[in-house]
């Protein structure tokens, strides 16, 4: 089964056909299809790009968008009467890998 390494949102993911995964937010409508360039592909032989493999595209379908769990950011300086609490929720996009080619 062919595998590929794609880059989305500054992170790299190892993917295979039919896989569903969450990546950092992508600006595309839910239900639309987009193509992402592959950094590395494996099928019969391994092809490594510099930085991407020529002609190798991974077509994905955007399933939905969402936001992750809340992370608490807490800053404190002891004996200075300083403390700040802030929450953060990272946005994500759920995608499904259609084909690697």
Closest listed residue to residue 56, CA positions, set 44, 70, 42, 68: 42
Give the pLDDT confidence score for residue 49 in this predicted structure.
Answer: 87
Question: How many distinct structural domains can be found in the chain?
Answer: 1
Helix (H) or strand (E) holding 98: strand 91-100
Give the pTM: 0.83
Residues 46 and 67 sit within 8 Å (Cβ to Cβ): no
Q: Which domain holds residue 42?
A: 3-100
Q: Distance (Å, rounded) from C-alpha 100 to C-alpha 49?
A: 15
pLDDT digits (tens, 9 = 90+) for 43-69: 888 989 888 999 899 999 999 999 999
């Amino acid at each position: 089964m062919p595998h590929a390494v794609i880059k989305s949102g500054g992170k790299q993911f190892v993917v295979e056909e039919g896989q569903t995964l969450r990546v950092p937010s992508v600006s595309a409508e839910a239900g639309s299809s987009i193509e992402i360039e592959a950094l590395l592909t494996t099928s019969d032989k391994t092809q490594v790009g510099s930085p991407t493999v020529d002609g190798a595209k991974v077509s994905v379908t955007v399933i939905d968008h969402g936001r992750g769990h809340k992370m608490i950011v807490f800053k404190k300086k002891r004996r200075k009467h300083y403390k700040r609490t802030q929450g953060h929720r990272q946005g994500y996009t759920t995608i499904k890998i259609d084909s690697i080619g």
